[in-house]
Chains A and B, each alone.
Chain A
Amino acid sequence: MLKDILKMIKNEKYISKSKIAKNLNTTEDVVEQAFSQLYSMGYIKIENTKDCSHKCNGCAFASLCNKVPLNTIIITEKGEKILDN
């Protein structure tokens, strides 16, 4: 299943956990767990625009940044290697 998810990440432009769950005939919670396992094992990197610790030098609109709840998932070198095998 984890390898299937990695393949989907590589082949899709965007992904939703519900879509993966549907394709793998499982639940979104299981997919959520699989994502954390892939992350913990270092196969993917997850970046979240909400996790911004940048100081915005007092910009008037600083608080607007990082409001878009956007996760990006990147396959790491380790992940790429396993897909090539």
Chain B
Amino acid sequence: MNTIALVGNPNCGKTTLFNALTGSNQRVGNWPGVTVEKKEGNFKFKDQIYTVIDLPGIYSLGSFSEDEIIARNYIISGNPDVVINVVDATNIERNLYLTTQLLEMGTKVVVALNMIDEAETKNIEIDIKTLSEKLGAPVIPTVASKKKGIENLISKAVELINKDMDYKAHISYGQNIDKEIENIKKFLENKNLDYSRQWIAIKVLEGDKEILNMIKEKDEEAYNSLDDMLAKHNLENLELEIVDKRYEFINSITSSAVRKPKENIVTLTDKIDSIITHKYFGLPIFALIMFIVFQLTFAIGQDLLGGIVGSGLEILGEKIESLLVTINAADWIVSFVIDGIFGGIGTVIEFVPLILVLYTLMGLLEDSGYMARAAYIMDNLMRRLGLQGKTFISMIIGFGCNVPGVMATRTLDNKKDKMIAILINPFMSCGARIPIYLVFISAFFSDNGGLVLFLLYALGIVVALIMAKIFSKTLFKGETSYFIMELPPYRIPTASNVLRNMWDNVSEFLKRAGTTIFAVVTILWVLAMLPIGVEPYSQSSILGRIGTAIAPIFKPAGYGTWQAAVGLFSGIAAKEAVVAILGMVYAGVEEGTELVKAIQSAFTPLSAASFMVMTLLYTPCAATLGVIKKETNSYKWTLFSAVYSFAVAWILSVIIYQVGRLIGLS
């Protein structure tokens, strides 16, 4: 029984053709030793039964993937009597690369020019006669999905089984390589290698390890002689030149056999990019977009949706409190549930609507392809400052969370660049800090909430860039390396992607509130209740004493209270905990006090601004410090990161407060 193999690029219609040929006469198994699916079937033509093998979809016959090796080994082992190469007529340039390699192998090939109807719809004109002549192989137009051209294709394939096929697709690889091919062919003349000598010669010059090993296994002496011959060449260069010549060959075929309608040279993406990534306008546009995002966050998240969660939690808190009183629950249980859980965690959860809006808007930017541009714009700025451009990627990731931001610095090859990227990453305002800003903005800057949030993010970037510049000039000096970004085309964001992104963030946020923040709140609540006998949440409690001990450090910055100190202290465990702890300690001070009102009486607008800058820049959270230790493998640098960021934050915070006072702000 004769065997026909089907080979082609993925999505060229190969399996459709296989189904059209074999109908229900199919068997599915695996290729020996691997998990790649093997499909086999039979069909009858002029009273003869033929076996058809559907080889894996591949782009070339290299040895880079399992699929390629399976297809190649199957063909070179002489299993099929003829190969039907399925070529997508709408994407002929790419598909012909495989065709060229098949012909180089000296295999009997019939080209099934599939999806010819789609090519016609796209006004792609293919001169089949010229194509066939140039390739030196029969080309049959088909539409496998409509079973058109199948009869003709089978007839041609069967005809070829009983005919010899000369290698006609002669590619000139240039004088030197052609000469070497001839030399190797001559050398292989009397060797028992079974396969096409032309093909083996090319593969040897390409440095194909599989083929070289195969020669070694069959004839070690021949392999050693070949090795000596090859030692004369720079194989890396030859490999690239050979591939380039194949593309040149394909180009020469398509330029004479294929005519395509002229495509719009300037795409919409190009037009948008000429403005969005403009040398001078790119950065202001980025700033404007982010400003609008923050403004909308407040307009929708606070003005429209604000209060919904807060009111819900208040009603729930009151009901649970009265229930606990009704069942005569112990005072400490009531205190823990109402002050600890509702006063602490509840305060964090109140900001869910704002977070929901912010991440929906960010999701829109991400899904549209804009954030990749934003990264590019940032990169441009960093290069202008003489910094390693690639650092920006970890910075962008740091906007979500500093832990993966620091981990992303692994991609930096240069150790010095990596150290700079690690040390500046915590200045990128992670999402966990948002609730802190929101509380203080609600208390003092609600009319300009978007602007204040925008300025905080911008300040984080500016401080990071300044510190990076200082580090690159002092602690670390290194060279920049070449890299480019691939910008995806713009697309209309899909509702499902944007909503999924929003839900991922909100659900993670809520999960976190129920785990880490809960743990921190519980520990600090216990400290606020001890020692037994003191007034809970008072300065005499352990928590109050810790806060009182730390508080003087923050006095020059305008918030030298034990509550603020405890809040900042808890932020080293987890940034979201700052708001939870402030909520708990202020709720404890005065029953029923809303955190925002408590903040208004404990802070001034100036000290609030100073506090926000502190929370933006000070010591990273424990998880981030942990990952800094892991990535730097140094306690010294971890400690340095914790201390220097605190120092930078403290200095800026003090400057803001003291300069503000000097110019008469309160």
A and B from one complex: yes
Say which residue of B277, B489, B576, B623 sits within 8 Å of A57 (CB atoms).
B623
Separation of A72 and B371 alpha carbons in the complex (Å): 14
Contact between B236 and A61 (Cβ–Cβ < 8 Å)?
Answer: no
| Nearest chain B CB to A34 CB, angstrom units | 8
Q: Which residue of A lies closest to B622 (CB)?
A: A57
Separation of A36 and B251 alpha carbons in the complex (Å): 19
Contact between B401 and A61 (Cβ–Cβ < 8 Å)?
Answer: yes
Q: Is B190 an interface residue (CB 8 A)?
A: no
Q: How many residues of A contact B (CB 8 A)?
A: 55
Point out the residues of chain A lying under 8 angstroms from B94, CB to CB: 27, 29-30, 32-33
Contact between B401 and A64 (Cβ–Cβ < 8 Å)?
Answer: yes
Separation of A14 and B591 alpha carbons in the complex (Å): 58
Point out the residues of chain B lying under 8 angstroms from A41, CB to CB: 239-240, 243
- Which of B15-23, B223-231, B265-273, B442-450 contacts the other chain? B265-273
Say which residue of A10, A22, A37, A49 sits within 8 Å of B482 (CB atoms).
A10
Q: Is B516 an interface residue (CB 8 A)?
A: yes
Contact between A29 and B93 (Cβ–Cβ < 8 Å)?
Answer: yes
Separation of A31 and B515 alpha carbons in the complex (Å): 48
Contact between B486 and A71 (Cβ–Cβ < 8 Å)?
Answer: yes
Contact between A26 and B251 (Cβ–Cβ < 8 Å)?
Answer: yes
Point out the residues of chain A lying under 8 angstroms from B484, CB to CB: 9, 12-15, 72-73
Contact between A62 and B404 (Cβ–Cβ < 8 Å)?
Answer: yes
Q: Is B431 an interface residue (CB 8 A)?
A: yes
| Nearest chain B CB to A49 CB, angstrom units | 6
Separation of A12 and B436 alpha carbons in the complex (Å): 41
Q: Which residue of B lies closest to A71 (CB)?
A: B486
| Nearest chain B CB to A22 CB, angstrom units | 7
Point out the residues of chain B lying under 8 angstroms from A66, CB to CB: 397, 404
Separation of A70 and B379 alpha carbons in the complex (Å): 12
Contact between B244 and A3 (Cβ–Cβ < 8 Å)?
Answer: yes
Residues A68 and B240 in contact in the complex (CB < 8 Å), given A14-B487, A18-B269 = no
Point out the residues of chain A lying under 8 angstroms from B91, CB to CB: 27, 29
| Nearest chain B CB to A58 CB, angstrom units | 6
Say which residue of B234, B515, B627 sits within 8 Å of A58 (CB atoms).
B515
Q: Is B440 an interface residue (CB 8 A)?
A: no
Point out the residues of chain B lying under 8 angstroms from A10, CB to CB: 482
Q: Is B483 an interface residue (CB 8 A)?
A: yes
Say which residue of B372, B403, B513, B626 sits within 8 Å of A62 (CB atoms).
B403
| Nearest chain B CB to A2 CB, angstrom units | 5
The listed residue with most B CB atoms (<10 A of its CB), out of A22, A54, A61, A62, is A61
| Nearest chain B CB to A80 CB, angstrom units | 8
- Binary B-proximity of A46-85 (CB < 8 A = 1, otherwise 0): 0101001010111111111111111111110010111001
Point out the residues of chain B lying under 8 angstroms from A72, CB to CB: 390, 393, 411, 483-486
| Nearest chain A CB to B205 CB, angstrom units | 14
Contact between B359 and A64 (Cβ–Cβ < 8 Å)?
Answer: yes
Contact between A65 and B404 (Cβ–Cβ < 8 Å)?
Answer: yes
Residues A40 and B240 in contact in the complex (CB < 8 Å), given A59-B401, A61-B430 = no
Contact between B512 and A58 (Cβ–Cβ < 8 Å)?
Answer: yes
Separation of A61 and B400 alpha carbons in the complex (Å): 5
Separation of A82 and B235 alpha carbons in the complex (Å): 11
Contact between A56 and B366 (Cβ–Cβ < 8 Å)?
Answer: no
Contact between B509 and A61 (Cβ–Cβ < 8 Å)?
Answer: yes
Q: Is B362 an interface residue (CB 8 A)?
A: yes
Point out the residues of chain B lying under 8 angstroms from A43, CB to CB: 240
Contact between B62 and A73 (Cβ–Cβ < 8 Å)?
Answer: no
Q: Is B501 an interface residue (CB 8 A)?
A: yes
Contact between A64 and B400 (Cβ–Cβ < 8 Å)?
Answer: yes
Contact between B404 and A82 (Cβ–Cβ < 8 Å)?
Answer: no
Q: Which residue of B lies closest to A15 (CB)?
A: B484
Contact between A63 and B505 (Cβ–Cβ < 8 Å)?
Answer: yes
Point out the residues of chain B lying under 8 angstroms from A49, CB to CB: 393, 397, 408
Contact between A27 and B93 (Cβ–Cβ < 8 Å)?
Answer: yes
Say which residue of A2, A14, A62, A67 sits within 8 Å of B243 (CB atoms).
A2
* A-B residue pairs, 9 tightest by C-beta: A64-B400, A61-B431, A63-B504, A60-B512, A59-B401, A57-B623, A71-B486, A65-B404, A40-B64
6 additional contacts (CB under 8 A) given A15-B486, A72-B485: A13-B380, A15-B487, A59-B400, A59-B403, A59-B404, A60-B432
Residues of A that sit less than 8 Å from B by CB = 1-3, 9-10, 12-19, 22, 26-27, 29-30, 32-34, 36-37, 40-41, 43, 47, 49, 52, 54, 56-75, 78, 80-82, 85
